[in-house]
């Protein structure tokens, strides 16, 4: 039985999901920043996805969303994306950078932890 390692509240995460168009991506990006679940969200248009869904191979144009946050926000950001995403089963992945500029990391932590 595997156990999750303890949460490091200051550890940075890059949370990734894909959306069907720029309108949906901008709406979700803005909501994540306004709710202080992410300090910054970047959107990359023009991504092509090939995947199998319900027995069919599909090809779609999508927008990649990349949100910068901390490990302590993972449960909240995951829940928010699941509840507000237009897909039945959204991709929600998190990556933790091994290294990053210390000043940038402090800014991300301050933004997602601010009460103002």
Digit-coded pLDDT (tens) for 73-94: 999 999 999 999 999 999 999 9
Look at residue 5 in the predicted model and tell me its pLDDT: 60
Structural domain boundaries of the chain? 12-113
Consecutive H or E run containing 67: strand 56-70
pLDDT per position as a tens digit, 30-62: 999 999 999 999 999 999 999 999 999 999 999
User: Any idea which architecture 12-113 has in CATH?
Assistant: 2-Layer Sandwich (3.30)
- For residue 93, what are the CA distances in angstroms to 72, 78, 115? 15, 9, 26
């Amino acid at each position: 039985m595997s156990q999750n390692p303890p949460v490091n509240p200051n550890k940075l995460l890059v949370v990734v999901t894909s959306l069907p168009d720029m309108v949906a991506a901008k709406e979700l990006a803005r909501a994540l920043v306004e709710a202080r679940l992410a300090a910054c969200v970047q959107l990359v248009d023009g991504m092509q996805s090939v995947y199998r869904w319900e027995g069919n191979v599909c090809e779609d144009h999508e927008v990649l969303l990349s949100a910068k946050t901390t490990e302590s926000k993972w449960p909240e950001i995951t829940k928010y994306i699941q509840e507000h995403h237009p897909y039945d089963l959204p991709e929600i992945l998190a990556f933790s950078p091994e290294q990053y500029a210390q000043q940038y990391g402090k800014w991300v932590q301050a933004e997602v932890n601010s009460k103002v």
